[in-house]
């Protein structure tokens, strides 16, 4: 990875008020390099250029770190499920930046799960696990938080993952513009307690928001 990409990643972290160590910067760039190389063969993402991957994928995932710390506590020690993880977004990024958290990346596509497993091995991410399965078949206990990025509608996200969320846990759905139609369809036993706009460095005027949900008490 070039010095320019490292400088840009450092800038993104600064704009998000994230204090990343040199080791974490190295790991994120190594992850980006692996994504670029595997993508040439396995088509893990439609984004091809490393600079675009940095802005559209890594920056987008880094933007949820501070909100997660605010809701789950600092330092982030939660057990987190990344459902429909794809190429490990945001699970791998979370595992690198929050080493005290425990991450499980779940995807039903074998080549994507294999890629994330390889990333975990090459980066020695002891807090990262990978499952190749459908969420309905997952047997992994309960999680403090379940995160999704472009996985499903809010209603389906909640319905499919509810058995895996602790009673006091939270769902976090990463969305583009505010999903008003989806919000109307959230199950009655689920509370949307915050729809949080986020500004992702490098994406200009592109709209991003985080939809926070929990079980209705």
Tokens, residue 31: 């992850």
Q: CATH code at 62? A: 3.40.50.150
The per-residue pLDDT for 145 is: 98
Number of domains, the chain: 1
Q: Which residues contact 35 (CB under 8 A, 6 or more apart)?
A: 44, 45, 53, 57, 87, 115
Q: Could you tell me if residue 86 is left (phi over 0), alpha (psi between -120 and 50 degrees) or otherwise beta?
A: left
The per-residue pLDDT for 150 is: 84
Confidence tier at 92 by pLDDT (50, 70, 90)? very high
**Domain coverage including residue 39:** 3-215
Q: Using DSSP, how many helices (H) and how many strands (E) does the chain show?
A: 9, 7
* Residue range 106-144, pLDDT digits in tens: 999 999 999 999 999 999 999 999 999 999 999 999 999
Q: Averaged over 25-30, what is the pLDDT?
A: 98
Give the H or E element holding residue 119. helix 110-122
CA distance linking residue 96 with residue 66, whole number of Å: 14
Inter-residue contact 200 to 69 (CB < 8 Å): no
In 10 A of CB 25, how many CB atoms?
16
Residue 211 has pLDDT above 90, yes or no: yes
* Residue range 159-178, pLDDT digits in tens: 999 999 999 999 999 999 99
Give the H or E element holding residue 181. helix 180-184
Closest CA to 81 of 97, 105, 107: 105
Confidence tier at 1 by pLDDT (50, 70, 90)? low
Share of the chain above pLDDT 70, in %: 100
CA distance linking residue 170 with residue 213, whole number of Å: 6
* Residue range 30-59, pLDDT digits in tens: 999 999 999 999 999 999 999 999 999 999
CA distance linking residue 89 with residue 98, whole number of Å: 14
Inter-residue contact 208 to 176 (CB < 8 Å): yes
The per-residue pLDDT for 27 is: 98
Residue 217 has pLDDT above 90, yes or no: no
Task: Please state the pTM of the whole predicted model.
Answer: 0.96
How does DSSP classify residue 200? P
CA distance linking residue 138 with residue 146, whole number of Å: 13
């Amino acid at each position: 990875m070039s010095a320019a990409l490292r400088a840009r990643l450092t800038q993104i972290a600064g704009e998000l008020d994230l204090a990343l160590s040199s080791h974490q910067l190295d790991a994120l760039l190594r992850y980006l390099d692996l994504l670029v190389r595997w993508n040439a063969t396995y088509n893990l993402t439609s984004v091809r250029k490393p600079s675009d991957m940095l802005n559209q994928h890594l920056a987008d995932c880094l933007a949820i770190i501070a909100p997660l710390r605010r809701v789950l506590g600092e330092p982030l020690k939660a057990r987190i499920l990344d459902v429909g993880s794809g190429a490990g977004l945001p699970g791998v990024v979370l595992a690198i930046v929050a080493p005290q958290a425990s991450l499980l990346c779940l995807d039903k596509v074998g080549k994507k799960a294999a890629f994330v497993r390889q990333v975990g091995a090459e980066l020695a991410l002891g807090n990262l696990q990978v499952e190749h399965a459908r969420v309905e078949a997952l047997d992994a206990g309960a999680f403090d938080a379940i995160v999704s990025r472009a996985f499903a509608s809010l209603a389906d996200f909640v319905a499919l993952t509810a058995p895996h969320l602790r009673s006091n846990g939270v769902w976090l759905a990463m969305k583009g513009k505010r999903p008003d139609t989806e919000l109307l369809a959230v199950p009655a036993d689920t509370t949307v307690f915050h729809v949080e706009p986020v500004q992702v460095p490098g994406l200009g005027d592109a709209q991003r928001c985080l939809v926070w949900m929990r079980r209705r008490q």
